[in-house]
């Protein structure tokens, strides 16, 4: 007797580089606002936000822990650069809207992004 295989896991992982950010990337409140805006725009469920400031003039790392996974921001104000990581499970979530909401707050001149499909039951591309 054969057991039916599980359907592919629906996880999508958007990774983005935001260059030339006009916003003050060393501002804890601003990074928190960007995370909250991303969560809301994605239609995700926020469980907790954790922020760490690396000191005066230094960057901020912020993570929104979600029922569906996470959104994180790592900033380098000295380079006007922020790295964004959005990993969500479930097809109903809008990763592009989340990135757009974050970008609206951080005000980058340039965005580079890539989205990966993640999970079990998926064919390998490498």
Q: pLDDT tens across 33-60, in order?
A: 999 999 999 999 999 999 999 999 999 9
In the prediction, which pLDDT does 106 show? Answer: 98
DSSP code at position 123? -
- Cβ atoms of residues 89 and 10 within 8 Å: yes
Angle at 119 between CA 122 and CA 16, to 5 degrees: 110
Average pLDDT, the chain: 91
- Cα separation, 16 vs 37, in Å, equals 16
Q: Where are the beta strands (DSSP E) in 54-101?
A: 60-66, 69-76, 81-89
Whether the pLDDT of residue 84 is over 80: the answer is yes
Q: Is 21 a catalytic residue?
A: no
Residue that has been written with the tokens 């964004």 in this structure: 84
The number of beta carbons lying within 10 Å of the beta carbon of residue 96 is 13
- Nearest of 42, 72, 80, 74 to residue 60 by alpha carbon: 74
Q: Is 69 a catalytic residue?
A: yes
Angle at 29 between CA 27 and CA 33, to 5 degrees: 120
Catalytic residue among 21, 69, 75, 93: 69
Q: Is 53 a catalytic residue?
A: no
Catalytic residue among 13, 70, 72, 89: 89
- Nearest of 100, 84, 106, 90 to residue 21 by alpha carbon: 106
CATH class in words for 11-118:
alpha beta
Catalytic residue among 21, 74, 75, 93: 74
pTM above the 0.85 mark? yes
How is the chain split into domains, by residue range? 11-118
Half-sphere exposure of 112 (CA within 13 A, CB side): 6
């Amino acid at each position: 007797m054969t057991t039916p295989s599980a359907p592919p896991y629906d996880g999508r992982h958007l990774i983005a580089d935001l260059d030339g950010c006009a916003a003050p990337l060393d501002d804890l409140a601003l990074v928190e606002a960007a995370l909250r805006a991303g969560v809301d725009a994605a239609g995700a469920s926020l469980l907790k936000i954790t922020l760490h400031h690396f000191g005066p003039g230094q960057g901020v790392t912020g993570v929104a822990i979600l029922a569906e996974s996470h959104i994180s921001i790592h900033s380098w104000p000295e380079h006007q650069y922020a790295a964004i990581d959005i990993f969500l499970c479930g097809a109903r979530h809008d990763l592009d809207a989340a990135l757009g909401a974050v970008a609206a707050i951080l005000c980058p001149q340039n965005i580079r992004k890539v989205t990966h499909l993640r999970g079990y039951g998926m064919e390998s591309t490498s």
